[in-house]
Amino acid sequence: MLLSALKRGQIARITRVTESDFSEKLMEMGCIPGVLVKRTVTAPLGDPVAYDLDGYCLSMRKTEASSIEVELIPAE
């Protein structure tokens, strides 16, 4: 699934960052395979979205989040 499809409070593990104009920048900001990510806050109009990523808050637009593939971690 794509990071942009994650619902608030869900946790996932990044599996792949697809090639795009901003994929290198996303990886520099910590979006690398294996990292856990949790959707935390959504802007009033739905874009951008904030994610808890390895202990810090990263905000990105849905188009950017759509270039990140994740694997959902089931809720306990």
Higher pLDDT, 39 or 76: 39
Helices and strands (H and E) in the chain: how many:
2, 5
Q: Is the pLDDT of residue 23 over 90?
A: no
User: Which one, of 25, 57, 27, 23, lies nearest residue 42 by Cα?
Assistant: 57
Q: pTM for the complete prediction?
A: 0.87
Higher pLDDT, 3 or 21: 3
Domains along the chain?
3-73 (2.30.30.90)
Residues 6+ apart with CB under 8 A from 63: 4
pLDDT in tens, 32-75: 999 999 999 999 998 999 999 988 999 999 999 999 999 999 87
